[in-house]
Amino acid sequence: MTNLPTALPRLLRFGAVALLIGLPAGLTAQPVDGDVTPYSDGTFVTATESFTPGTTARIGLHIRIDEGWHTYWRNAGDSGSEALLDWNLPDGWAAGEFDWPFPERFEYPPLMSYAYEDEVLLPLDLQIPADARPGTTVRLAAKADWLVCDEVCLFAVDSLSLEVPITADEDAPSEWAAAFEANALRLPAQAEGWEFQARTDPTDEALGLGVTTPAEWDGSLEGAYFYPHHTTLIDHFRPQPLAVDADTAWLRFQLNSFNGGLPERMDGVLVLAEGQSFGPEARRAIAVDAALLEGPIPAQAPVMADGAEASGQLSLLAALGLAALGGLLLNLMPCVFPVLSLKVLGFVEHASGDRATLRRHGYFFAAGVILSFLALAGTLIAIRAAGAEVGWGFQLQNPAVVTALIFLMVAVALNFLGVFEVGNALTRLGAVGADESGYRSSFLTGVLATLVATPCTAPFMGAAVAAALLRPPVEGLVIFGGLGAGMALPYVLLTLRPALLERLPRPGRWMETLRQALAFPMLAVAIWLLWVLGLQVGMGGAAAVLTALLVFSLGAWMLHRTPPASVATASQKFARVAGVVLLMFSLGWGVGRFVQPAGGASADAVAVSWEPFTASIVDERRAEGRAVFVDFTAAWCITCQVNKRVALNDADVTSAFVDRDVALVQADWTRRDDTIARELEALGRNGVPVYALYPADPTAPPRLLPNILTPRIVLDALESVAGPSSTTVEPTQED
C-alpha cells in the first residue's frame, strides 16, 4: 500500500470511504490486507531443543525483513524505534532484555537510522525456574512490537508464542544453535586492554570518544563508528572524524540538537571498519562505557580526519616528488633564474672543455645545495624538538600555529603578487666563489647559493618549512631533500649537456607572470587553513583573523608603496610608519589572540598553601572529608603559569578554596616524575596543565577542568562539587 505512485489514488479512495463510514482514518497506516507484520515476520526461536530446570536458556526474537525494508537497533537514530516484547510468562519464569547485535547505518539526509535489513536475531536470556517439571512443556508468549520502514514506516504487532519441552538432562542444540553462535559475534564485547575516555566540550557543543588501543593490537581505527545507546546524545547524521593525539584516537561528535541534558556516562558500541577486528574471536563490536567528563577534545587537520579513502596522507615518495618539483620551480623565481645560466657558464669555463670535470663540478654543486637544505630541515626539526620539550606543539591542533601559517601563506601570496618585495640579494650569487676552481669550491658554491637565494626563495619555502615543523621528522627531511634536489637538478643537467644552455628561455616578463600565478595556490592553502581554524575557534575567530589579514595586507602594501625614509616626504614617512604599525598590530592581534601570553615570574601574594603531590595525598585528604583540587603544573608550561595568575590566584577563587575547605595539592611536573605521570595517566592525560577536582566523596569520580582556566570555571566547578549536583532533566527513558 505504500508504493507511492499507487498509494495516492488508493488513499484518495480510502479517505473518501473512511469519511463516509466515519472510520478513524489513522488506521490507514496499517496495511489494508490485515497483515499484522507487514513486510516482515517475527518468530521466537531457541538455541536448544529443550530447557533444563534451574538453568539459563538462550532464546530470541527472529525478525525476517523483506528486501528494501529495515527494522531498528536499540537506538533507532533520528527516527523509528526499537522492537519491544510484552511477556506473558508462567510464574517463576523471567526473561532478560534483548542483547542487540550491532546495526548498520541507513542515511536519509539529513537523518540517520541505525537499523537491520534482511533479518535480525535479537537474543535474550530466559531463566528456567528450578521447579519446572521435566516432561512438561512450557508456553512462552509475548506481544511483540517492531517497526518496519523503507522510505515509509509501518507498525508490526504480533502475538508470538513457542512451546518448549522441559527435560532433566542436557539440552540438545536446536536448528537455530548455529545462528545464535554466529549472531553472538555481532554482539558488543568487552575488549581487553582497550581504554575509552568520553569528553564533552561545552564551548562548541562537541563530544569526543577517546580510544586507546593495546600495543599488541595492529589493526586500524580508520572507519570505526560509534553507535551510542543514548538516543539524543550525539548528532547521528554527522560524520565521526578521527583524530590522533599521542597514543589515543578521538572520534568527534556534535551534540544532538534535541539533547535535554548530558548523561553521566557515554555508552554504546564501537564498531570497527569491515576487515578490522579484535580478540581471538575476531569480533568487530566493542562495548563502550566511559564517564563523560568535561574537557577539550583533540581535533585534527580535517583533511586527514576526513581521509575516508585512507589516501589523505601523501606517500613519502609523492611528497619527495612534489618537493622536487617545488625545488625546480625555485629556479624560475625571477631573482634566481638569470643566475642559473651564469653559474653554469662559470663551471664550463673552469672545466676548460673537459666534460668529466664539468660533470663533477655539477655533482659537487648539487651536493652542496642538497646538504644545505637538509641542514636547514635538521635545524627546524631540532627547534621543533626543543619546542615540544617546553610544551610548544607545532601542530595544526593549535589555533595560533594555524593562524601563523595563514599569515605566512597570505604574505607569500602578497609577495608573489608584487604587493611587497623581500630584499634582492641573489644578484651577488654570480660572483660567489668565482675565483676558486676546485670541486670543494663548487660544493661551497652550492651551499652559498642556497643561503644567498634564501631571501628570494624563502616565501616559496614557507610551505616546506611548515611541513618540516608539522610532519614527522623523516618526512621533513625528505621534503627538504627533495627541494634541494629539485633546485640542483637544472645545474646537473646543464653540466651534463652544456648545449642545453642555448635552449633555456630568456629571462623576461614571463617570470613575473609565473610568480604572480603562483600566488593563487598559496591563497588556496590559506583558505584551507582558515577552514581548519574555523572548525577550531568558530566563525567569530576566523572572521577576526580575516580582518587581521586585511589590515596586514594594507600595512604591507603601504610599506611598499612609500619610498625609503631618506627620500620620503613627511606624509610618506607617516604612511610608512602607519604601515609598520598596521603590520605589527595585525600580527599581534591576529596570531596573538590564540597564543597564551608568556607568564611572568610568579608573584603569589594570596595566602593559600599548596601541598606537594604524593601518591596517597588525594585519598588521605578525601578521607578527612575534604574535596581536593590538584594542580598538575610545570615551570616550563606557560599555560599553567597563566592559569595560576589569572584563575588560581584570583581573590574570589582563593577565598572559595578556603570557604569550602578544599585541600590544595600541587603536582609539579617540571622534572618528569613517575608518580605524577601515573596519576595523569589515570586521568587520561599525558601532559600538563591538568586541573582535577576530586569531590570529598571518595567514590565520586574526579572532575577535569578545561586546560585554560578562568575564575568562573573554577568557581563553577567548586560549586558543582560542593553543592547539590545540578540535576538535569532526562525527558525520555534511556537505558
Kindly identify the residues of this chain, within the stretch 540-579, that bind another protein according to CB under 8 A: 542-543, 546, 549-550, 553, 557
Closest to another protein by CB, 4 or 598? 4
- Binding residue for another protein, selected from 119, 145, 245, 673, defined by CB under 8 A: 145
Closest to another protein by CB, 7 or 501? 7
- Binding residue for another protein, selected from 87, 510, 520, 574, defined by CB under 8 A: 520
What sign has the CA pseudo-torsion 422, 393, 529, 476?
A: positive
- Binding residue for another protein, selected from 10, 30, 177, 195, defined by CB under 8 A: 30
Helices 439-470 and 473-496, axial angle in degrees (round to 10): 150
User: For the CA atoms of 69, 75, 80, 84, what is the dihedral angle to 10 degrees?
Assistant: 90
Q: How far is the CB of 540 from another protein (least distance, A)?
A: 10
Closest to another protein by CB, 609 or 733? 733
- Binding residue for another protein, selected from 6, 29, 386, 716, defined by CB under 8 A: 29
Helix (H) or strand (E) holding 364: helix 355-389
- Binding residue for another protein, selected from 32, 94, 111, 308, defined by CB under 8 A: 111
- Binding residue for another protein, selected from 81, 212, 341, 720, defined by CB under 8 A: 81
DSSP state at residue 429? G
Taking CA atoms, 8 is separated from 1, 30, 39, 176, in Å, by 9, 15, 20, 42
Using CB under 8 A as the binding rule, whether residue 731 contacts another protein is answered as yes
Window contacting another protein (CB under 8 A); options: 74-82, 239-247, 490-498, 702-710: 74-82
Window contacting another protein (CB under 8 A); options: 72-80, 343-351, 695-703, 711-719: 72-80
Window contacting another protein (CB under 8 A); options: 153-161, 394-402, 479-487, 649-657: 153-161
Window contacting another protein (CB under 8 A); options: 76-84, 338-346, 432-440, 469-477: 76-84
Using CB under 8 A as the binding rule, whether residue 138 contacts another protein is answered as no
- Binding residue for another protein, selected from 28, 127, 454, 614, defined by CB under 8 A: 28
Window contacting another protein (CB under 8 A); options: 102-110, 208-216, 324-332, 339-347: 102-110
Helices 399-416 and 519-561, axial angle in degrees (round to 10): 80
Grid look-up 617540571 returns: 670
Q: How far is the CB of 299 from another protein (least distance, A)?
A: 15
> Which three-class secondary structure state does DSSP give residue 432?
coil
DSSP string, 257-271: TT--S--SEEEEEEE
Kindly identify the residues of this chain, within the stretch 427-466, that bind another protein according to CB under 8 A: none
Closest to another protein by CB, 20 or 356? 20
Kindly identify the residues of this chain, within the stretch 214-253, that bind another protein according to CB under 8 A: 231-232
Using CB under 8 A as the binding rule, whether residue 370 contacts another protein is answered as no
Judge contact between 700 and 722, C-beta under 8 A: no
Burial label for 198, CB within 10 Å (0-12, 13-18, 19+), is buried
Tell me which residue of 303, 208, 193, 286 sits closest to 250, measured CA to CA.
208
Q: How far is the CB of 280 from another protein (least distance, A)?
A: 38
Judge contact between 217 and 193, C-beta under 8 A: yes
Q: How far is the CB of 724 from another protein (least distance, A)?
A: 17
Kindly identify the residues of this chain, within the stretch 256-275, that bind another protein according to CB under 8 A: 257-261
Closest to another protein by CB, 36 or 658? 36
Tell me which residue of 60, 180, 62, 58 sits closest to 126, measured CA to CA.
58
User: For the CA atoms of 140, 145, 149, 153, what is the dihedral angle to 10 degrees?
Assistant: 150
Using CB under 8 A as the binding rule, whether residue 510 contacts another protein is answered as no
Using CB under 8 A as the binding rule, whether residue 16 contacts another protein is answered as yes
Interface pattern 40-69 for another protein (x via CB under 8 A): ------------------------------
Window contacting another protein (CB under 8 A); options: 14-22, 176-184, 345-353, 369-377: 14-22
Q: How wide is the angle at C-alpha 19 spanned by C-alphas 17 and 24, nearest 5°?
A: 100
Q: How far is the CB of 187 from another protein (least distance, A)?
A: 23
> Which three-class secondary structure state does DSSP give residue 292?
strand
Judge contact between 57 and 140, C-beta under 8 A: no
By rule CB under 8 A, what count of residues binds another protein? 73
- Binding residue for another protein, selected from 63, 132, 319, 417, defined by CB under 8 A: 417
Q: How far is the CB of 74 from another protein (least distance, A)?
A: 12
Rounded to an integer, what distance in angstroms lies between the CA atom of residue 233 and that of residue 701? 21
- Binding residue for another protein, selected from 103, 123, 298, 534, defined by CB under 8 A: 534
Burial label for 699, CB within 10 Å (0-12, 13-18, 19+), is exposed
DSSP state at residue 701? P
Q: How far is the CB of 147 from another protein (least distance, A)?
A: 7
- Binding residue for another protein, selected from 461, 487, 494, 526, defined by CB under 8 A: 526
Rounded to an integer, what distance in angstroms lies between the CA atom of residue 130 and that of residue 13? 58
Using CB under 8 A as the binding rule, whether residue 304 contacts another protein is answered as no
Secondary structure string (H, E, C) spanning 16-78: HHHHHHCCCHHHHHCCCCCCCCCCEEEEEEECECCECCCCEEEEEEEEEECCCCEEEEEEEEC
DSSP string, 189-206: B--TT-EEEEEEEGGGTE
- Binding residue for another protein, selected from 89, 124, 157, 184, defined by CB under 8 A: 157
Closest to another protein by CB, 566 or 727? 727
Q: How far is the CB of 409 from another protein (least distance, A)?
A: 11
Closest to another protein by CB, 354 or 510? 510
Judge contact between 294 and 200, C-beta under 8 A: yes
Using CB under 8 A as the binding rule, whether residue 149 contacts another protein is answered as yes
Phi and psi at residue 242, in whole multiples of 5°?
A: -110, 130
Given the DSSP bridges, would you call strands 703-705 and 195-201 parallel, antiparallel or unpaired? unpaired
Closest to another protein by CB, 323 or 542? 542
Window contacting another protein (CB under 8 A); options: 154-162, 265-273, 295-303, 332-340: 154-162
- Binding residue for another protein, selected from 10, 11, 273, 277, defined by CB under 8 A: 11
- Binding residue for another protein, selected from 41, 64, 117, 155, defined by CB under 8 A: 155
Judge contact between 278 and 234, C-beta under 8 A: no
Q: How far is the CB of 239 from another protein (least distance, A)?
A: 13
> Which three-class secondary structure state does DSSP give residue 691?
strand
